[in-house]
Amino acid sequence: MKYLSACPPFRALTVVLAAFSFAIPAAFAAAPAAAPIVLTGADRRPAQSLDGEWASIVDPYFSGLFSFHHQEKTNGWFLNQKAKPGDPFPTEYDYSKAPKLKVPGDWNTQRESLLFYEGPVWYEHDFTYQPKEHTRIFLHVGAANYRSWFWVNGQKACEHEGGYTAFNCDVTAAVHAGGNFVVAAVDNTRHEDNVPTLETDWWNYGGLIREVSLITVPDAFIDQYDLHLSRTEDNAIEGWVHVIGGKAGAAVEVEIPELHAKTAANVDESGRAAIHVNVQGLERWSPDNPKQYKVALRAGEDSVSELMGFRTIETRGTQILLNGKPIFLRGVAIHAEAPYRTGRAYSDKDAETLLGWAKELGCNYVRLAHYPHAETMLRAADRMGLLVWSENPVYWALQFDNPKVLAKAEQQLDEEIGTSRNHAAIILWSMANETPNTDARTHFIETLASRARALDSSRLITAALLVRAEGHTKVVDDPLGKALDVIGVNEYIGWYEGHPETADVTEWRIDYEKPLIVSEFGGGAKAGLHGNENERWTEEYEANIYRHQLPMLNKIPQLRGMSPWVLMDFRSPNRPLAGIQDEFNRKGLISDQGQKKLAFYVLQKAYKERTIGKPE
Ligand code: GCB
C-alpha cells in the first residue's frame, strides 16, 4: 500500500476514480496490511503446504497493479476475476488459462523466455482450508526475490522487501472454510537503493524461490526463541522465549526430555520469558559430533517441537574457540545455486548434495554467501556437522549514506537472525561483503554489527573486507575491523592480480589482534579444459593457484580459517566469455554439473592431511 500511494500512476488513478465516482475496490481502500512477522523454526510448525504448480502471468509493465486505462485493471489482478458475458470491459487476464510455474523455484530456469527476465510476475494458487477456532493463520513464505505482494481471496495480506529471508503474513481474516485462492506479485527489478544494489556477481533469480505454506498457531503463540549454551556457567542453557498475543505473567515451559531437563518461566510485559535450564551430561554439538536434542517449547495452547544442538563459540585473542577449544575452520564458500540443474537451491536434496561435497572436501565449515540461505541448508548443516558463516546481502557499494537503505539492511538482518537463531551450525553473522572503505560505509556496517550483537550476543560478528597492497605486502587495516570479532578478507592473488607464484613472495600485515578468516580466494577454470598450468581457464591453472595460496596462507600467524571461492560454478550475467564462462562464474571447485576439477583434490589433500591451519 505504501508503494501504491507513492506511485504516480496510482495517484492519477485515484483522481480518475474520484472524477467518475467509481467505487474504489476494497483491496485498495483497506488499511495497509500488517507487516509480516518473523518465526523461529517455522519448519517445525504443522503446516499445509502450498507448494506445487501456480498459475503465472508475466507483467513487465506491472499493469495488474498500476494501469488505469481499463476499469477491470484498476481492480487489480489480485482479484482473480473471470470475464462475465456482457462485461463492457472483458478481463484481459485469466489465471485458469495461464501457464504454470513450480513453487518453490525461480522463474528463470523454468521457462527459457524468462532466463534473463527482470520485472513483475503474478502467481495464483487455489487451496482448500478448514480454519479452526481460536487460531491464527499465517501465510509462510520461505523467500520471494526481491519484492512481493500477497492477497488471499482478493484481500491484501502483506508486502515484503528482501529476496532471501522468510516472512509470515497474517491471513486469519482473509481465509475461509472451503475453497480459497492466493495471489502473489513478485518483482525482481533491481534498484540502486535496494539491498543488494544494482550489481551483484550472481543471477537475479526471481520468484517464489522457497517454500510457501499456511501455518496455524493458537491465538497466543511463540514467535521467536533463543536457547544456547552459557559461556559463563557450566551445564546451563540460557536464552528466552517470546510470545505474541499472551498476557504478561503467562507461563512458558522448556523441556529437553533426553536430559531430564525442564524449566518454567513467565513472560514479561513485552512477551518475553527469560530461560535458564540446568543440564547434566549434555553432549556438545560439534562437527565431530553433531548431537541434537529434542526440545519442547510450550506456552499455553502453543507448543513447538524443536531439534537443536548446543555449543559455545567465542574468541580469545586471535583464536576461535568452539566449546572452549581452539578450532581451525577448513571451509569453502557456497552460493545457493542448485547442483546439476542450476537455478536457486531450495530442497533438502540440494542442501545435502552441496554440503555433502563440502564434507568430501574435508570441511568443517562453510561460508553461505552472499545472502541468507534456505532453512533446508541450515538444517542439513546442523545434521551434518558443518559450522556456518551466514551473510546479510550487504554486497559491494550500496547507498551507504541513505537511511532507507540502512533500514532495509536492518530489516533483512532482523529476519535472518530471528529466523535462524535456532541453528547450532551458525557461528558467524556476516554483516557485509567487499565494501568500499568510506566513513559512510563504516558507520552503516558498525550500526548493523551493534544491532546483530543486541539481537544475538551468543555468536561472532564478521564481514569480508577488501585488503590493500603495499608492494608485496597485503595490509589489513580497514577501520571496519574494529567492529568485528573475526576479520574476513577476500583476495585473488593469481587471478585478478599477479600470477599464482605471486603468492610465494606475498607477506601479510594484519593490524588487528583478532582471528582472521580468508573468506575468498581462487580462480576460474572450465571443467574438462586441460593444458599448461600457466594457461588461464584450465583446471591446471586453477589448481596451481591453490598450490601457491595454501603455503602463503599458512604463514599468517592468526589465520583461523578459510573459505575459498567457490564450491560450485554458479550463474552470473557478469561472466559472458563465450565457450568458457557462458554466463557462469567458473571459480567452482566443482562444475555446475558436478564434475570435480583438479583444484578440488589439491584442497581436499590439504584439508584431509591437515597441512593447512594449526592443529586443533
Ligand atoms: C568477489 C566477490 C564474489 C565474486 C568473486 C569473483 O570478490 O565477493 O561475489 O563472485 O569475487 O569471482 O570475482
Consecutive sets of 10 residues in the chain, 616 residues long: mean pLDDT of each? 28 30 38 86 97 98 74 72 80 93 98 98 98 96 98 96 98 98 98 98 98 98 98 95 97 98 98 97 98 98 98 98 98 98 98 98 98 98 99 98 98 98 98 98 98 98 98 98 98 98 98 98 98 98 98 97 98 98 99 99 98 78
Same domain for 51 and 177, yes or no, is: yes
Residue 608: how many CB atoms within 10 A of its CB? 12
Distance 390 CA to ligand 1 centre (A): 16
C-alpha cell at 529: 579444459
Ligand 1, residue 434: give the atom nearest the CA.
8
Distance 336 CA to ligand 1 centre (A): 14
Total residues belonging to the chain? 616
Q: What is the pLDDT, as a whole number, of residue 616? A: 58
Choice from 520, 521, 587 to test ligand 1 binding pocket (greatest atom count within 8 A of CB)? 520
Q: 545, 597 in Cβ contact below 8 A?
A: no
Inside any domain, residue 598: yes
Q: What is the pLDDT, as a whole number, of residue 23? A: 34
Same domain for 351 and 285, yes or no, is: no
Same domain for 254 and 182, yes or no, is: no
Inside any domain, residue 616: no
End residue of a domain, out of 311, 333, 359: 311
DSSP string, 276-318: EEE-SSPPPP-SS----EEEEEEETTEEEEEEE----EEEETT
Q: What is the CATH number of the domain that holds 67?
A: 2.60.120.260
Q: Whose CA is nearest to atom 10 of ligand 1?
A: 201
Q: Whose CA is nearest to atom 3 of ligand 1?
A: 201
Same domain for 167 and 36, yes or no, is: yes
Ligand 1, residue 585: give the atom nearest the CA.
12
Q: What is the pLDDT, as a whole number, of residue 580? A: 98
Q: What is the pLDDT, as a whole number, of residue 614? A: 72
Q: Whose CA is nearest to atom 9 of ligand 1?
A: 201
Distance 447 CA to ligand 1 centre (A): 24
C-alpha cell at 110: 523454468
DSSP string, 454-476: HH-TTSEEEEEEE-EEETTEEEE
Q: Determine the Cα–Cα distance for residues 296 and 309; give it in Å rounded to an integer.
A: 13
Residue 293: how many CB atoms within 10 A of its CB? 20
Q: 410, 366 in Cβ contact below 8 A?
A: no
Inside any domain, residue 222: no
Inside any domain, residue 316: no
Q: Whose CA is nearest to atom 4 of ligand 1?
A: 201
Burial grade of 447 (CB within 10 A; 0-12, 13-18, 19 or more): middle
Ligand 1, residue 524: give the atom nearest the CA.
12
Q: What is the CATH number of the domain that holds 279?
A: 2.60.40.10
Q: What is the pLDDT, as a whole number, of residue 30? A: 46
Same domain for 255 and 129, yes or no, is: no
Q: 1, 156 in Cβ contact below 8 A?
A: yes
End residue of a domain, out of 216, 246, 267: 216
Q: Determine the Cα–Cα distance for residues 508 and 140; give it in Å rounded to an integer.
A: 47
Distance 10 CA to ligand 1 centre (A): 40
C-alpha cell at 523: 580462480
Ligand 1, residue 495: give the atom nearest the CA.
13
Same domain for 332 and 354, yes or no, is: yes
Distance 97 CA to ligand 1 centre (A): 42
Same domain for 116 and 236, yes or no, is: no
> What is the DSSP code (8-state) at residue 235?
T
Domain membership of residue 276 as a residue range: 232-311
Same domain for 550 and 506, yes or no, is: yes
Ligand 1, residue 587: give the atom nearest the CA.
12
Residues 6 or more apart whose Cβ sits within 8 Å of residue 467: 474, 475, 476, 478, 489, 490, 491
Ligand 1, residue 522: give the atom nearest the CA.
12
Residue 39: how many CB atoms within 10 A of its CB? 25
Distance 368 CA to ligand 1 centre (A): 13
Same domain for 482 and 534, yes or no, is: yes
Distance 465 CA to ligand 1 centre (A): 12
Distance 234 CA to ligand 1 centre (A): 42
* Strand 135-141 versus strand 120-129 pairing type: unpaired
Inside any domain, residue 11: no
Q: Determine the Cα–Cα distance for residues 42 and 379; give it in Å rounded to an integer.
A: 12
C-alpha cell at 91: 478481463
Q: Determine the Cα–Cα distance for residues 406 and 408; give it in Å rounded to an integer.
A: 5
Distance 203 CA to ligand 1 centre (A): 13
The ligand 1 site (C-beta within 6 Å) comprises 201, 370, 433-434, 490, 520, 565, 585, 587
Inside any domain, residue 99: yes
Q: What is the CATH number of the domain that holds 539?
A: 3.20.20.80
What SS3 state is found at 167? strand
Inside any domain, residue 337: yes
Q: Determine the Cα–Cα distance for residues 466 and 481; give it in Å rounded to an integer.
A: 11
Distance 201 CA to ligand 1 centre (A): 6
Choice from 201, 391, 492 to test ligand 1 binding pocket (greatest atom count within 8 A of CB)? 201
Distance 369 CA to ligand 1 centre (A): 10
Residue 606: how many CB atoms within 10 A of its CB? 23
Q: What is the pLDDT, as a whole number, of residue 94? A: 94
Distance 88 CA to ligand 1 centre (A): 55
Q: What is the pLDDT, as a whole number, of residue 3? A: 27
Distance 300 CA to ligand 1 centre (A): 48
Q: Is the backbone peptide bond immediately before 104 cis, with ω within 30 degrees of 0?
A: yes
Q: 329, 317 in Cβ contact below 8 A?
A: no
Q: Whose CA is nearest to atom 13 of ligand 1?
A: 201
Same domain for 329 and 306, yes or no, is: no
Same domain for 207 and 301, yes or no, is: no
Choice from 434, 497, 567, 586 to test ligand 1 binding pocket (greatest atom count within 8 A of CB)? 434
Same domain for 518 and 485, yes or no, is: yes
Q: Determine the Cα–Cα distance for residues 141 and 119; give it in Å rounded to an integer.
A: 19
**Cα distances (Å, whole numbers) of residue 578 to 441, 531, 583:** 36, 18, 8
Inside any domain, residue 544: yes
End residue of a domain, out of 250, 279, 311: 311
Choice from 569, 585, 586 to test ligand 1 binding pocket (greatest atom count within 8 A of CB)? 585
Distance 563 CA to ligand 1 centre (A): 12
Counting the structural domains of the chain, the total is 3
Q: Whose CA is nearest to atom 7 of ligand 1?
A: 490
Ligand 1, residue 433: give the atom nearest the CA.
8
β-sheet with 272-278: strand ranges across: 221-229, 236-244, 272-278
β-sheet with 251-256: strand ranges across: 261-266, 251-256, 293-299, 302-308
What residues pair up with 265 in beta bridges, in sequence order?
252
H helices of 250-402, in order, are: 348-361, 375-384
